[in-house]
Amino acid sequence: MNTEAVRLRLINWISQLEDEILLKKIDSFRIGQKEGWDDLSYEDQQAIEEGLNQLNEGKFVPYSEVRERIKLKLNQ
């Protein structure tokens, strides 16, 4: 199968997708190729995805709080 046929088959498939999670993963793959994503190890990619998921779920510590914790630790 030539490149054009594969491209058209993928376009057709993607245009019919309704799974938002899968669409986001495809889009992150597209973005990742431009930003060196493929140069990262699989473990690093998984760690980044886990961190992004945590951020999206609101599971993070604000920078100001981190600074305050470090300041308190250094002053002990």
Q: 43 is in which domain, residue-wise?
A: 3-74
Closest CA relative to residue 26, chosen from 63, 70, 40, 16? 16
Residue 75 pLDDT exceeds 80 = yes
Res 74: pLDDT: 92
Q: How many angstroms separate the CA atoms of 40 and 61, rounded?
A: 25
44 or 1: which leads in pLDDT:
44
Res 3: pLDDT: 86
- pLDDT digits 0-9 by tens, 3-54: 888 888 888 888 888 888 888 888 887 776 656 777 788 898 899 888 888 8
Residue 68 pLDDT exceeds 80 = yes
Q: How many angstroms separate the CA atoms of 38 and 27, rounded?
A: 14
Res 33: pLDDT: 62
Total domains, the chain: 1
